[in-house]
Amino acid sequence: MRNRQRILSLIVAVTIAVTTGTRLYADDTNAAPASTMDQRIDALEREIQDLKRQRELDQEAAQQAAEKAKSAPIITAGQNGLGPDGFKLQSADSNYVLRVGGYAQADGRFYLNDRANNGTDTFLLRRVRPILEGTLYRDFDFRIMTDFGNGAPQTSLLQDAYVEWHHWQWLKLRVGKYKPPTGLEWLESDTDLLFVERGLPTDMVPQRDVGVQLSGSLLDGVVTYAGGVFNGVVDGGIGDADTTDSKDLAARIFFVPFKKTDVRFLQGFGFGSGGTIGREEASSTTTNLPTYKTTGQLTFFSYGKGVAPDGQELRYTPQAYYYLGPFGLLAEYNVSDQSVRSGVHTADIDNTAWQVAGGFFLTGEEQRYRGSPYSPLGAVTPRHPFKPGSGGWGAFEFVARYGDLRIDPNAFNKSPASSGLRFASPITSAQEAREWGVGLNWYLNRNVKISLDYDNTTFDGGAGTATSTVYDIRNRGAEQDLVTQAQFLF
Phi, psi of 479 (to 5 degrees): -100, 120
Neighbours of 327 (CB within 10 A): 14
Distance CA 338, CA 307 (A): 12
Phi, psi of 186 (to 5 degrees): -65, -30
Decide: 450 and 161 in contact? Cβ < 8 Å: no
Residues 6 or more apart in contact with residue 204 via CB below 8 angstroms: 183, 235, 236, 292, 315, 317, 334, 335, 336, 351, 353, 405
Beta strands 430-443 and 395-406 are antiparallel
Ordered structural domains, the chain, with CATH: 88-489 (2.40.160.10)
Distance CA 119, CA 299 (A): 10
Distance CA 412, CA 263 (A): 50
DSSP string, 306-332: TEEEEEEEEEEEEEEEEEETTEEEEEE
Q: Is 59 in a helix, a strand, or coil? A: helix
> What ranges in 355-454 are assigned the alpha helix state H?
none
Per-residue pLDDT of the chain (490 residues; tens, 9 = 90+): 555 555 555 554 545 554 555 444 444 444 555 567 777 777 777 778 888 888 888 887 777 766 766 666 777 776 544 445 568 888 887 788 898 989 999 999 999 999 888 999 999 999 999 999 999 988 999 999 999 987 655 555 899 999 999 999 999 999 999 999 999 999 998 999 999 999 999 999 999 999 999 999 999 999 999 999 999 999 999 989 888 888 999 999 999 999 999 999 999 999 999 999 998 887 766 778 999 999 999 999 999 888 989 889 999 999 999 999 999 999 999 999 999 988 888 889 999 999 999 999 999 999 988 764 434 444 688 999 999 888 899 999 999 999 999 999 999 876 544 445 679 989 999 999 999 999 999 999 988 999 999 999 999 999 988 776 677 889 999 999 999 999 998 8
How far is C-alpha 101 from the geometric centre of its chain's CA atoms?
Answer: 11
